[in-house]
């Protein structure tokens, strides 16, 4: 096919318009591959989405194309700039930087389903301790081969488009005119780049950031259609932290919301064992107990043991995670500290003095431990749990039998849960121990002896969930024969939800819905179902409340067993904006001005915005959300994460 030759600067302009076109294709592919996660986006919304998207694409273009752009426009001698060697170097640099940008976009075609965010720079820290990086990458490529093909296709398209138009050599203009023209265009391009990165040329404008995408969407999760991953990756490099908020004066703030809990000092503390079980990717959708209405009442789920245990447990029907990553769950569950824009453990505030459940119980004479079958150091869990006050860590090293290693993530759940049971029986009571399962994780495999045993279901994770559910059953079969069993409170929770199949979960309610069970064998008061809210950050204050803990402590959640606090219960998440569940309502907000308000109990698909119809309710919930944000931000910044 014929190649076209034209003016040199027209070629430069063409190449960067070409990059914008490739970014546009990535946005369309991102939506198409994840369209079930954006059920409320219609054709009429795309004008605004694309209008905002071009702003962020231009910014990303200058971030990733800055070096090749400067190389193309440097006012160097014409004979050098047109030499074959220099043109090859420019071409290579252009392909490398544009290829990296396209790769980042392609990664989020799949990774977004698990995090509900565009990938940020923090992902490098999140996986820096993984020892199986190459194997994980290989399995990811094999499982999502079509994304590899899409990426290869985009690269080939980039090369083809780049080569289609070449510069026409000109020698007619004088050297002075050539250098003046080159320098002038370079200066103009720098000015345009500054405007592109800032978002416009207004003096008051700062460089656009992720939150600016909210100007082009109806709800916060849709900002990820406006954004592109190269932009979010660059803009989160070197992010220092939170901004102090001053919505309310101190006295007013404490009256609206405070994370400081002050139990009755006369309480008679009871030293029962506490076991927290965190199940990898156990979204609520997988649990039959919660979903008897799905598939016209025929849905059975993939957790027969958990279903049976739920009938003997205390259940709060509306149960939520506070994040979408494994590293979000540990601070939420153990220290009642949720994630904000970034996971707490990846912020500068992770070194703050933290109270938390482990510290509180350790001070009461508890043995504290954490179990995770992955290679020691994986996900930074050993460091995180140590910061949260847990003394003993048991991982793959302590299990010390690689014949049970899955070859990727860690020890299979069945043998590791048995190891957990034996170690618990060796501890002096009372103890507080946590186990974090590993097997219900990509690449979604089960041990060879169980291949074909469990129903696969429409999503590959469901087979693995059934395997872990079986491992959990065998753990309890063994544990209930131990002398410590009847003196133990078990809390069973997922770390986060995962990929979703049923449309009933493809909304802001379902994306964070997980099971949370409170099981206390022998305690008949800890049974039954309440149509109320519980979230991961409620675990710590609820456990301490159950034990009649009698000292002040800091927790961002509530004791859900305290009926006097029923009207104050809420659930919080951050996903492109703030989500706040309280009573029957869900508020979605950017944290500054009230956003959309939904009755999430009667409007499961969140189709009717009640902000105009219920201004008083909107104002009341927005007030509480802002108080929470202020307490969260300011206490993290000021290192005030303990009760004084």
What is the three-state SS of 276-309? EEEECCCCHHHCHHHCCCHHHHCCCCCCHHHHHH
Q: Name every residue whose Cβ is closer than 8 Å to that of residue 33 and which is 6 or more positions away in sequence.
A: 109, 110
Q: What is the pLDDT of residues 554-588, one digit of tens each?
A: 999 999 999 988 888 999 999 889 999 999 999 99
Burial of residue 402, with CB atoms counted within 10 A of its CB: 0-12 exposed, 13-18 middle, 19 or more buried? exposed
| Closest alpha carbon to 509 in 344, 336, 317, 278 | 317
What is the Cα–Cα distance from 617 to 237, expressed in whole angstroms? 38
Q: What is the pLDDT of residues 610-633, one digit of tens each?
A: 999 999 999 999 999 999 999 999
Q: Cα–Cα distances in Å, from 479 out to 153, 418, 434?
A: 54, 9, 15
- 345 phi-psi bin (left φ>0, alpha ψ -120 to 50, beta other): alpha
Segments in the chain below pLDDT 70: 1-2, 126, 128, 169-173, 200-206, 240
Q: Cα–Cα distances in Å, from 480 out to 75, 413, 473, 627?
A: 79, 18, 11, 44
**Contact yes or no for 641/353 (Cβ under 8 A):** yes
Domains of the chain: 4-235 (no CATH), 251-637 (3.40.720.10)
Burial of residue 170, with CB atoms counted within 10 A of its CB: 0-12 exposed, 13-18 middle, 19 or more buried? exposed
Residue 315 DSSP SS3? strand
Name the token pair of 74.
Answer: 């440097």
């Amino acid at each position: 096919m014929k190649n076209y030759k034209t003016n040199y600067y027209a070629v430069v302009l063409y190449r960067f318009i070409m990059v914008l076109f490739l970014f546009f294709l990535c946005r369309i592919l991102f939506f198409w591959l994840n369209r079930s996660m954006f059920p409320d986006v219609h054709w009429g919304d795309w004008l605004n989405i694309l209008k905002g998207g071009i702003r962020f694409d231009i910014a990303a273009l200058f971030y990733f194309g800055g070096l090749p752009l400067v190389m193309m426009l440097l006012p160097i001698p014409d004979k050098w700039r047109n030499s074959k060697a220099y043109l090859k170097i420019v071409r290579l640099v252009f392909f490398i930087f544009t290829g990296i940008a396209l790769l980042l976009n392609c990664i989020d075609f799949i990774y977004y389903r698990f995090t509900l965010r565009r990938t940020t720079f923090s992902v490098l820290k999140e996986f820096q301790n993984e020892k199986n990086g190459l194997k994980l990458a290989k399995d990811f490529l094999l499982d999502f081969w079509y994304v590899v093909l899409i990426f290869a296709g985009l690269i080939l398209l980039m090369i083809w488009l780049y080569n289609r138009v070449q510069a026409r050599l000109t020698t007619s203009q004088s050297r002075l005119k050539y250098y003046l023209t080159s320098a002038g265009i370079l200066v103009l391009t720098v000015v345009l780049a500054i405007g592109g990165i800032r978002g416009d040329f207004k003096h008051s404008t700062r460089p656009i950031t992720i939150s600016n995408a909210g100007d082009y969407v109806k709800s916060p999760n849709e900002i990820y259609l406006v954004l592109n991953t190269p932009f979010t990756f660059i803009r989160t490099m070197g992010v220092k932290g939170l901004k102090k908020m001053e919505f309310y004066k101190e006295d007013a703030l404490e009256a609206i919301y405070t994370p400081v809990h002050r139990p009755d000092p006369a309480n008679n503390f009871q030293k029962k064992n506490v076991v927290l079980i965190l199940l990898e990717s156990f979204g609520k959708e997988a649990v039959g107990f919660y979903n008897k209405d799905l598939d016209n009442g025929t849905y059975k789920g993939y957790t027969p043991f958990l279903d049976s245990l739920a009938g003997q447990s205390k259940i709060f029907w509306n149960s939520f995670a506070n994040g979408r990553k494994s590293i979000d769950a540990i601070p939420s569950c153990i220290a009642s500290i949720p994630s904000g824009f970034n996971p707490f453990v990846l912020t500068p505030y992770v070194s703050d003095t933290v109270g938390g459940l482990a510290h509180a119980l350790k001070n009461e004479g508890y043995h504290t431990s954490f179990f995770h079958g992955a290679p020691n150091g994986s996900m930074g869990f050993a460091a995180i749990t140590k910061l949260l006050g847990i003394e003993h860590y048991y991982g793959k090293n302590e299990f010390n039998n690689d014949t049970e290693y899955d070859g990727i993530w860690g020890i299979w759940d069945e043998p590791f849960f048995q190891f957990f049971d034996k170690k618990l029986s060796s501890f002096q009571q009372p103890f507080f121990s946590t186990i974090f399962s590993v097997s219900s994780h990509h690449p979604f495999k089960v041990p060879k002896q169980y291949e074909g045993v469990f129903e696969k279901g429409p999503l590959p994770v469901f087979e693995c969930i059934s395997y872990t559910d079986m491992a959990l059953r065998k753990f309890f079969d063994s544990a209930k024969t131990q002398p410590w069993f009847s003196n133990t409170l078990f809390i069973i929770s997922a770390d986060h939800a995962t990929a979703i199949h049923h449309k009933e979960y493809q909304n802001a309610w379902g994306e964070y819905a997980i099971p949370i069970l409170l099981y206390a064998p022998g305690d008949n008061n800890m049974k039954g179902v309440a149509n109320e809210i519980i979230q991961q950050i409620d675990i710590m204050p609820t456990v301490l409340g159950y034990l009649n803990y009698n000292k002040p402590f800091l927790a961002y959640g509530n004791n859900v067993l305290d009926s006097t606090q029923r009207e104050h219960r809420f659930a919080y998440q951050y996903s492109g904006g703030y989500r706040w569940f309280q009573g029957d309502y869900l508020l979605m907000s950017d944290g500054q001005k009230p956003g959309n308000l939904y009755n999430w109990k009667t409007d499961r698909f969140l189709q009717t915005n009640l902000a105009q119809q219920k201004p008083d309710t909107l104002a009341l919930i927005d007030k509480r959300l802002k108080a929470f944000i202020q307490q969260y931000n300011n206490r993290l910044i000021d290192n005030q994460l303990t009760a004084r």
